[in-house]
Chains A and B, each alone.
Chain A
Amino acid sequence: MGLTEPSDSEALTPSGHGPDEASEVRSSASSTLMFAPWQSAVDEGFWHRMASFKLETQRLDEHPVPVSGFFAPCSHPQIPSHLQLLEESLPPDPGGSSSTSHSAVIGNRNKCPAPGTLYNTNTLESFTGMDRPSLLKSAALQIWEDIHSGKAEEDSNVLNRFLLISFADLKKWSFLYWFAFPAIVLTPSATVSSCTPVSMAFSEEESTGIRGACSEWRSTETTASSPFFLLHFTSDGAVNARPIRDWKVANEEGGKVISAYYDPYNRTYPGWPLRNFLALAVVRWEVTELRVLCYREKRGFLDPELSLVVDVELPKIPEWKVQGFIPKGVGWELNSRGKARPRIVHLAASMDPERAANQAADLNLKLMRWRLLPSLNIPLLSSTKCLLLGAGTLGCHVARNLLPWGIRHITFVDYGKVAMSNPCRQSLYNLEDCLNGGKPKAEAAVASLKRIGPVEARGLCMSIPMPGHSVGPAEVDSVLADCSRLKELVDEHDIVFLLTDTRESRWLPTLLCAAANKVAINAALGFDSFLVMRHGAGPAFLEPEISNSTEDEISAPTYDGRLGCYFCNDIVAPLDSTANRTLDQQCTVTRPGLAPLGAALAVEMAVSLLHHPRRIFAPAAQAVAITDATVEALGILPHQVRGFLAHYTQLVVTGAAFDKCTACSSIVVDEFKKRGMEFVLEVLNRPNYLEDLTGLTEMLAATQGLTLDWDDEDDEM
């Protein structure tokens, strides 16, 4: 099986799988018996448990904590068995986490417990400053005492005592740790006179007996988790597995006694646990020769090829008999690169709740992409920055609908505070937000959104300057500041949603979008009808050549001229629409179902537009019969959708840009580009300025005042 053994002369017999490989039996006298160090493996569950243990139980306490490691005999020729730390290695959560239904420390055949001590430090400095030599020394001494007192013969697990020092950086979710598997050093070393696979060391009959005895030991609940045991070959030919405390009794009964232990290592050397066992044999049994079976498994039974039989010659060590002798210990673990350094593990990917939420939120999108929309551009969506002007009924619903599409950057602009009447309709707020005069909406919306899911949200409490709301000299500076801030915001974002509750507050954002060629999505509500539209490209912008303009099939005929904005339909300039209204008219009274419908459509339209290769220049698709399938992944991309709740009907409408538009025509945009905020100020202050500028006044004079407002018109029905 491709074992590559060290080629040095110390190499022992390979435990190969072919008979040829196994034929070489080591015979040269007395060379040092080498042990393969134990290797640690820490399950993520342990670190999860440790994080909560540290936060809830241990806190700043640095006292050592008992932990249980678990191991099993090696069961794979390619992989040694590790000493594992699992979630249940630490004391159970006092709160009673449901995930640890196994009670701690009770081992089983595949989870033989090893007692350990954890020193978790509060700082990196105290971690690095730990006195590792003396920790090792005292652990070795404890093993030494357990050997002398006879405790180790009663509970052989204590021979596998281990140490763990750690530092948990719970901000970065990284864990620094270092294991030690203390082994008592025999000086001089034990030597080996023979090391062969079990299949070579015993007759077939003996092998069968051994297999049966080991199997019984391994499957009996009371013995399965005792890693050291004896095999007694009785004079009548039976083989019995017995606890190590029976050493003397079994020897007196006659026959032959060999030792056995669960060996974690997989190659032709015994594994580390044998070391302390040999110390026990020297101290307690005072033997100079010991035959040891390194028990390894295949499919739950002794693997006669993988398991080794080692004949060990033990030294006589006179100093060990001296009262108060302190043995030497060895066994700090090297890191995975063989360096005398701690190990480190970074678990932010699985432990950081924010990252987990992000991933979970993306899951549905990924599913959607994979099942229905292979062209869904998740990275595009997650990097698109959305500016929501207005955090009222529409703003709340739009934000909530952006999240499931994987939009991760949302900025709210709103001047208002959350009022008692809001939470019912405005889905991001609750009654608490209304207390003490109400929280600023922009702020409350951000907080609420962040509680829902992963998002980078920002809120600005500012008003949007409006034509017809004239600006007094005292306010000029602050209004100009608002204008500039709004311009910056438009420039910083990819999509601007116009969701305010008045028509005139949409004028400046519309102009800014037209001037910057930004995508603007507009949603407006009547009592039982709504309009959702995307504004066309700015007047001065030419569409860049699309390099590989594949003539894609499309579902519907389109209008490919410049598309209009919200104001293109109007032949009056936006004015103070609240000025002449009574109070109940100022409140936007609409059927409650309207805002969610309109907001949802606005978001769907924005996402469709993002996926259109021509983006803001995308032509307006005309309606197609619903019996005709659409070719595009997300269906057609219309210019406007008008919904009529009373009729349970929606219409797809196209409107060309109007050359006298007060917001998006080249006259207005050019003037703005020329004069900047000074122009804006003039518009705010002079009611008829825009109409004069665009020539609307002239036109109106010619046609005698038709006032068309979209929600009044029904001619398109």
Chain B
Amino acid sequence: MWDGTLSAADFQYASKEFMKLWNHEECNMNQWSWEERPESSAQGYLILEGVSLPEIETPLMHESLSMETDDKEELFSDDATLTDLTSQPSRCTYHVIYNESYNVPTIYFRGYHSDGSPINWLDIHMSLPSHLAQQMDQNRWTFLTQEEHPYLHRPWFMLHPCGTSSIMSLMSTERLKQKSRGYATPPEPRKRGEGEDKQAVPSRSSDLEFDTKLEFIPSIREAPTNQVGNYRDQYLLTWLSFVGPAVRLPVPLDLFKSLN
């Protein structure tokens, strides 16, 4: 059984395939680009910039500086200056980088409020209704943390990659099962000591969450059965359909249709 990982070369290949798919789709999403990094085993990484996040509101910054200026208005505008600018949404940049320890893609992201201040995702995460936050904590693919960007060497938010391969592996297994049985089956319970049942409950509910997601992702039902060569083509799209919602990156479902 495929373990859900990708080699660096596979990642590079999958990225190119993914860009072909996404960037040619007629929709209003921004385009992914490939940042060359010859020093890395995957030779580079994927970048998506300027995604607007209308639902994240800019916090009212305390005016920490009561700097009064007597600057005349004419320094700022004249009668040819449009002053009625509508407020701009927050925006976000995503980097998909190959993780050499886990052999899976990892999503790094960073957002700015309209005033240029960085979005603190941990704060946003904290402010989620508790059941949602809990879900995010317990879902394997949505473990939010802040880590140093491997190429930019500054802290970026990221979803920790330690659950990625198992979810991807599970996906392909599910796909095979469905193909043969024609319906989705719940994933097998985690193999842990019997006595650990109690602790396993939250994890199990996240698996159930996963199960319902299966129903909604067309690739599961519609994509051709996993021929081993095929997983690379769809890897990033399938993976993003899981992690995207957790980082406010909408993945157009239409893309899945074009897979067939």
- Contact residues of A with B, CB < 8 Å? 1, 4, 6, 8, 32-37, 39-42, 44-45, 48, 75-80, 87, 97-99, 101, 110, 128, 132-133, 136, 174, 176, 185-186, 189-190, 269, 275, 299-300, 328, 330-338, 340-347, 349-350, 356, 359-360, 363, 366-367, 370-375, 553, 555, 628-631, 633
Contacts and interface: CB of A to CB of B under 8 A. Distances in A.
A347 B62 CA distance: 15
Given A45-B154, A345-B116, A553-B198, A76 B61 contact: no
In order of increasing CB-CB distance, the 8 nearest A-B pairs are A629-B195, A336-B115, A629-B193, A34-B82, A350-B155, A36-B82, A6-B84, A332-B75
B188 interface: no
A48 B137 CA distance: 30
A39 B88 contact: yes
A314 to B, nearest CB: 12
A370 B137 CA distance: 7
Interface string B64-108: 110101011111111111111110110100000000000000000
B110 interface: yes
- Interface of B, secondary structure class, is loop
Given A299-B31, A370-B137, A374-B138, A33 B80 contact: yes
A632 to B, nearest CB: 9
B69 A77 contact: no
Interface in B236-260: none
Contacts of B113: 336
Contact of B50 (A76, A337, A341, A629): A76
Given A44-B110, A190-B80, A330-B74, A343 B115 contact: yes
Interface string B120-160: 10000000000000000110000101110001111100001
B30 interface: yes
B199 A340 contact: no
Contact of A341 (B69, B151, B154): B69
Given A42-B116, A555-B195, A78 B52 contact: yes
A342 B67 contact: yes
A375 B203 CA distance: 12
29 contacts: A8-B84, A32-B80, A34-B81, A36-B85, A37-B85, A40-B116, A45-B154, A76-B28, A76-B52, A87-B152, A99-B151, A133-B71, A136-B75, A185-B78, A269-B82, A328-B74, A332-B76, A336-B116, A340-B76, A341-B67, A343-B116, A344-B61, A346-B117, A349-B118, A356-B155, A363-B145, A366-B143, A366-B145, A629-B195
B31 A300 contact: yes
B107 to A, nearest CB: 16
Given A44-B118, A336-B115, A343-B115, A37 B80 contact: no
Contacts of B196: 629, 631
B23 interface: yes
Interface string B21-39: 0010000101101000100
Given A79-B88, A359-B146, A330 B76 contact: yes
B153 to A, nearest CB: 5
A331 B64 CA distance: 24
B137 to A, nearest CB: 6
B235 interface: no
B30 A75 contact: yes
Contacts of B85: 36-37, 39, 338
A39 B61 CA distance: 18
Contacts of B193: 629
Contacts of B30: 75-76
B80 A35 contact: yes
A99 B116 contact: no
A330 B81 contact: yes
Nearest to A177: B116
Interface string B194-213: 11101100110000000000
Interface centre among A328, A332, A338, A374 (most CB of B within 10 A): A374
A4 B86 contact: yes
B81 A35 contact: yes
Given A32-B79, A190-B80, A41 B116 contact: yes
Give the one of A78, A343, A630 with max B CB within 10 A. A78
A408 B190 CA distance: 33
A349 B120 CA distance: 8
A340 B79 contact: no
Contacts of A337: 115
B71 A44 contact: no
Given A330-B75, A341-B67, A370-B137, A77 B117 contact: no
A275 B71 contact: no
Contacts of A37: 77, 81-82, 85
A612 B67 CA distance: 53
Contacts of A335: 115
A426 to B, nearest CB: 32
Which of B147, B154, B193 lies at the interface centre, i.e. has the most chain A CB atoms within 10 A of its CB? B154
A630 B118 contact: no
B43 interface: no
A176 B63 CA distance: 12
Given A39-B88, A340-B76, A374-B138, 14 more contacts: A32-B80, A36-B82, A37-B82, A39-B85, A75-B50, A98-B153, A186-B80, A331-B76, A338-B85, A342-B65, A344-B65, A346-B117, A555-B195, A629-B195
A133 B86 CA distance: 27
Contacts of A334: 76
B116 A34 contact: no
Contacts of A45: 152, 154
Contacts of A299: 23, 31
Given A44-B154, A332-B71, A367 B117 contact: no
B152 A373 contact: no
A366 B162 CA distance: 12
Contacts of A345: 116-118
Nearest to B153: A99
A32 B83 CA distance: 14
A374 B202 contact: yes
B169 interface: no
B178 interface: no
Contacts of B69: 128, 132, 340-341
B7 interface: no
A80 B154 contact: no
B119 to A, nearest CB: 11
Contacts of B74: 328, 330
Contacts of A336: 58, 113-116
A40 B160 CA distance: 32
A357 to B, nearest CB: 11
B112 interface: yes
B199 A374 contact: yes
A154 to B, nearest CB: 27
Interface in B154-172: 154-155, 160, 162
A34 B80 contact: yes
B152 A630 contact: no
A544 B204 CA distance: 34
A292 to B, nearest CB: 14
A128 B69 CA distance: 8
A269 B63 CA distance: 31
Contacts of A371: 162
Contacts of A76: 28, 30, 50, 52
Given A35-B81, A330-B77, A128 B67 contact: yes
Nearest to B25: A299
A110 B85 CA distance: 24
Chain B CB within 10 Å — which of A32, A48, A189, A341 has the most?
Answer: A341
A370 B199 CA distance: 11
Contacts of B143: 366-367, 370
A629 B155 CA distance: 40
B34 to A, nearest CB: 13
B140 to A, nearest CB: 8
A189 B82 contact: no
B170 to A, nearest CB: 16
Contacts of A343: 115-116
